[in-house]
Amino acid sequence: MKILITFFYLLIFHLQPTAQPVKAHGPLRVDGTKLVDKKGNAVVLRGMSFGWHNFWPRFYNPEAVKWLHTDWECTVVRAAMGVEPKNGYIEKPQESTAKVKAVVDAAIKEGIYVIIDWHSHNIHLNEAKKFFAEMAKAYGKYPNVIYEIFNEPDQESWKEVKDYSREVISTIRAIDPDNIILVGNPHWDQDIHTVADDPLTGFTNLMYTVHFYAATHKQQLRDRCDYALKKGIPIFISESAGMEASGNGPLNMDEWGKWIDWSEKNKVSWVTWSVSDKNETCSVLLPSAGSEGKWEEKDLRDSGKETRKLLRSYANKK
């Protein structure tokens, strides 16, 4: 009888639906340096970024989103819409938008948060305003949605990024007054200290992105982040991983662990790069991986195995 009771307990446990973060937390807002939920409690989102949609479109589907939620236990996914390369938004706006919408719609159905990422290294103001106006009209009523308006400015000055951001934010806010907006900064989201000395003003629910690749970006960047937090700048790590900034090289588990510990200590959300199958360290999947999830251990690169383990280990933490 005891064995039978244990069996039924385990069966019920495994049949329970995966928790829906949006149902639990509701609309998010920024309070000081923290991302907080409808009750004012600090929230740390943890998840995966899809690779460039124009290079790995096969993963932009509802089944892959569902798998990342239910098996990897992501509370957020990021749709990285390529802007400039072949088959990107500039060349094929309708097809590119459709790929993003497939991920956003699936995330809403799954009850997780989703980042709509303008994945560019250069300023395309008119195109960005048009795209985000469309996204805000379609999804502004959903608490799931987070807008990332400039993935990684490279050589632009902070003044140029600010001027661009001010216009794109104003475009979004005219339609969606309150969903979180993520703002990039120069040198691939490394200059958060510059933001701290001259932040945007006049807007609410803004956060600033920092991207780290642990084998390259170490204590110096964490020091910059600490400086920004002390000056009241809210940070969101919308892209990160354990190898070199090139996306290759060995995983630096020690530095990666330091970054995750730092993020958790400071209640900073973190997203890992990327759901793709390129022959590089930062692609979490091997070519054997199916397009629609259900990935087995043999389908994962080392970065995928470690990321999945990390996400699942934090799944029950607030």
- Catalytic residues, which ones? 152, 239
Q: Could you tell me the CA-to-CA distances from 161 to 12, 19, 106, 109 in Å, in that order?
A: 51, 37, 31, 33
Q: Could you tell me the CA-to-CA distances from 121 to 132, 140, 156, 185, 229 in Å, in that order?
A: 17, 25, 9, 10, 25
Q: Taking the CA atoms of 165, 85, 66 and 131 in sequence, report the sign of the dihedral they define.
A: positive
Q: How many helices (H) and strands (E) does the chain have?
A: 11, 10
Contacts of residue 181, Cβ cutoff 8 Å, sequence gap at least 6: 146, 147, 148, 149, 169, 172, 203, 205, 206, 207
Question: Of 302, 212, 216, 193, which Cα lies nearest the Cα of 261?
Answer: 212
SS3 207: strand
Residue 22 near residue 144 (C-beta atoms within 8 A): yes
Question: Of 45, 37, 54, which Cα lies nearest the Cα of 96?
Answer: 54
- The span from the CA of 179 to the CA of 159, in Å, is 24
